[in-house]
């Protein structure tokens, strides 16, 4: 891992999951994202400050991801910076990993990384450059096409969470909190591989804990991104955000198989 003492990024992070988690062709991907957003209901009156969105293949979690991102169809012209935080599924490490890529690429185009924002994290010892955490990680990549479809111009702060504490994640979010130009997106699925009725019960309890800003109630069995969720809940409580559950379903609802399902939730955090 390389400390964030100097930010001079030159690499491009190419799409790894195009053709598996989502379509490889840009026109097909854009059409699919448009359809998923078109099917979503939007109960919010304004763009949230933060959200939680799922990150499975679009066949499974895409409809719930549409529910997560549909509020961004409102007046989003102020948004210029997306803090995208997801769990590491393949590489074990301590702390929070930045990418050395200057841009993240999808079939819909390139997203520049906010190098100035990375420099703001240089004094936090828990944050370091660690490209291996990003190389084969899907939790950030699959969120990007929704953001690209909805936002004309934005920069990305890509953060993969390893073995980090709630307080460390909270410190990162608070450092980059910003104003209306900044949106925080935590990427996480919910319960994994229970039968349909058991998953519904677990995920309902998780949603209640999120709505009540109780990070201590969120454990690894409740969400793969539980650490990032807990950090967000701490920051949300500190900043007075109001959480709302927008959508709560699982792969049994979207794919029809009820024996071993994965839970998906769309949650929005609103400023007063």
Helices (H), the chain: 26-38, 58-69, 115-120, 131-135, 138-141, 144-150, 166-175, 196-211, 226-239, 251-255
Mean pLDDT to the nearest integer, 68-92: 95
Instruction: Return d(Cα 15, Cα 106) in angstroms, integer.
Output: 5
The answer on pLDDT for 267 being more than 90 is: yes
Tell me how far apart the alpha carbons of residues 224 and 235 are, in angstroms, rounded to a whole number.
Answer: 19
Range 183-208 average pLDDT: 98
Range 41-46, long-range pairs (CB < 8 A, 24+ positions): 41/67, 41/70, 42/70, 42/71, 42/73, 43/244, 43/246, 44/71, 44/74, 44/244, 44/246, 44/268, 44/270, 45/74, 46/71, 46/74, 46/75, 46/270
Under the banding of pLDDT at 50, 70 and 90, the label for residue 27 is very high
pLDDT (0 to 100) of residue 168: 98
Contact between 88 and 136 under an 8 Å Cβ cutoff? The reply is: no
Tens digit of each residue's pLDDT (9 = 90 or more) over 135-171: 999 999 999 999 999 998 999 999 999 999 999 999 9
Residue count of the chain: 272
Predicted TM-score of the model (pTM): 0.96
Name the helix (H) or strand (E) containing 155. strand 155-161
- Residue 148's nearest CA partner among 42, 43, 26 is 26
pLDDT (mean) for 184-203 = 98
Phi, psi dihedrals of residue 51, rounded to the nearest 5°: -150, 160
The Cα 194–Cα 260 span in angstroms is 5
**Domains defined for the chain, CATH in brackets:** 42-190+201-270 (3.40.830.10)
Name the band, by pLDDT with cuts 50, 70 and 90, for residue 11.
confident
pLDDT in the model for residue 232 = 98
Is the pLDDT at 223 greater than 70? The verdict is yes
pLDDT for 8 beyond 90: no
Kindly report, residue by residue over 206-219, the tens digit of the pLDDT: 999 999 999 999 99
Of the chain, the percentage scoring pLDDT greater than 70 comes to 99
Predicted confidence at residue 5, as pLDDT, reads 64
Give the pLDDT score at 256: 84
């Amino acid at each position: 891992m390389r400390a964030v003492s100097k930010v001079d990024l030159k690499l491009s992070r190419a799409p790894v999951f195009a053709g598996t988690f989502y379509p490889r062709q840009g026109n097909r991907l854009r059409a699919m994202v448009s359809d998923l957003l078109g099917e979503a209901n939007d109960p919010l009156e304004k763009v949230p400050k933060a959200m939680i969105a799922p990150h499975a293949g679009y066949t499974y979690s895409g409809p719930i991801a549409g529910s997560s991102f549909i509020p961004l169809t409102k007046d989003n012209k102020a948004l210029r910076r997306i803090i995208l935080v997801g769990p590491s599924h393949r590489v074990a490490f301590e702390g929070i990993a930045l990418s050395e890529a200057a841009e993240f690429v999808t079939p819909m185009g390139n997203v520049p990384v906010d190098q100035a924002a990375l420099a703001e994290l240089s004094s936090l010892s828990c944050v370091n450059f660690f490209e291996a955490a990003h190389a084969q990680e899907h939790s950030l990549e699959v969120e990007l096409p929704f953001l690209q479809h909805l936002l004309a111009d934005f920069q990305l702060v890509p953060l993969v969470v390893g073995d980090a504490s709630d307080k460390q994640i909270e410190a990162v979010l608070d450092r980059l909190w910003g104003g209306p130009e900044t949106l925080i997106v935590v990427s996480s699925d919910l319960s994994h591989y229970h039968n349909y009725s058991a998953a519904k019960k677990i995920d309902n309890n998780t949603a209640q804990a999120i709505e009540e800003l109780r990070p201590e109630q969120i454990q690894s069995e409740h969400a793969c991104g539980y650490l990032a969720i807990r950090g967000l809940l701490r920051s949300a409580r500190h900043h007075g955000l109001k959480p709302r559950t927008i959508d709560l379903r699982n792969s049994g609802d979207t794919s029809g198989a009820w024996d071993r399902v994965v839970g998906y939730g769309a949650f929005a955090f609103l400023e007063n």
